[in-house]
């Protein structure tokens, strides 16, 4: 929503630097929101470091039913320090600061099994290109070419940045066909990319889901 790719949602995702002091500070903040854990796993730095997300539901006035999801590791993204270094900071009229994942990192985090995430990826890349097309930087060009999700934008990018497109085509073969005008073939290749990322996401979560079952079993035995 901050970036202009609004998605109606009743949850907030927080990426936490999982040291003990930070963990306790967040725990205090969650208590002030009347937040209760709604599912396994338990909330601890060790659990977060393994890649799990911990889910809470708030009950304090003004935030009733708001869900807060906390994590410290994201699939295929670097550690917290790197994410923090390249974060986006947005301030409101009162000077309150909001620290957000950069758009490239947010796009990477959205590559999940959920089909509803993929239109958001398409929109985030398109917004980033529209807002920065007049002053392109090499890392941004690489990001656009690596993550654009429509044949029309891909054709524009390949024609505008042919050298970078050739360099990246070994990692993203559809760039080789993006300038041909064969939009149907490009759409099929984009669909194949989605399926491949969904398979990677399932593989990532498979062992963590097994751990969740162990957590549930333990909580039943020790309520």
pLDDT computed for residue 9 by the predictor: 67
Q: Return the minimum-mean-pLDDT range out of 38-42, 105-109, 182-186.
A: 38-42
**3-state secondary structure (DSSP) of residue 97:** strand
Q: How far is residue 14's CA from residue 23's CA, in Å, rounded to a whole number?
A: 12
116 and 68 belong to one structural domain: no
66 and 134 belong to one structural domain: no
Instruction: Give whole-number Cα distances, 163 to 73, 130, 166, in Å.
Output: 34, 21, 5
In a domain, 22, yes or no: yes
Point out which residues pair with 97 in neighbouring strands.
91
**3-state secondary structure (DSSP) of residue 38:** coil
**Which are the contacts of 100, defined by CB distance < 8 A and separation ≥ 6?**
2, 3, 87, 88, 89, 90, 106
In a domain, 154, yes or no: yes
Domain count, the chain: 2
Q: Per-residue confidence at 86, pLDDT binned at 50, 70, 90?
A: very high
Domain span at residue 28 reads 11-73
In a domain, 98, yes or no: no
Burial (Cβ within 10 Å: 0-12, 13-18, ≥19) of residue 125: buried
Please write the tens of the pLDDT for every residue from 36-79: 999 889 998 889 999 999 999 999 999 999 999 999 999 999 99
User: Which pTM was predicted?
Assistant: 0.91
Q: Is the pLDDT of residue 223 over 80?
A: no
199 and 133 belong to one structural domain: yes
In a domain, 84, yes or no: no
Q: How far is residue 7's CA from residue 162's CA, in Å, rounded to a whole number?
A: 33
112 and 189 belong to one structural domain: yes
In a domain, 44, yes or no: yes
């Amino acid at each position: 929503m901050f970036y202009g790719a609004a998605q109606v949602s009743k949850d907030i995702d927080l990426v936490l630097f999982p040291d003990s002091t930070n963990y306790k500070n967040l725990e205090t903040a969650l208590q002030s929101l009347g937040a209760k854990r709604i599912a396994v796993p338990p909330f601890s730095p060790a659990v977060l470091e393994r890649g799990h997300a911990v889910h809470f539901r708030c009950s304090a006035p003004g935030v009733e039913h708001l869900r807060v999801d906390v994590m410290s590791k994201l699939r295929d993204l670097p550690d917290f320090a790197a994410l923090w270094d390249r974060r986006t900071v947005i301030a409101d009229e009162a000077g309150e600061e909001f620290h957000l994942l950069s758009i490239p990192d947010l796009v990477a985090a959205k590559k999940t099994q959920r089909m509803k995430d993929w239109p958001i990826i398409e929109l985030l890349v398109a917004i980033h290109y529209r807002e920065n097309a007049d002053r392109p930087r090499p890392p941004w060009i690489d990001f656009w070419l690596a993550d654009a999700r429509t044949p029309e934008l891909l054709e524009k990018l390949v024609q505008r940045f042919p050298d970078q497109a050739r360099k990246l085509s070994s990692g993203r073969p559809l760039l080789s066909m993006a300038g041909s005008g064969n939009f149907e073939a490009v759409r099929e290749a984009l669909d194949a990319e989605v399926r491949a990322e969904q398979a990677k996401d399932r593989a990532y979560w498979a062992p963590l889901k097994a751990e969740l079952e162990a957590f549930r079993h333990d909580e039943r035995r020790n309520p």
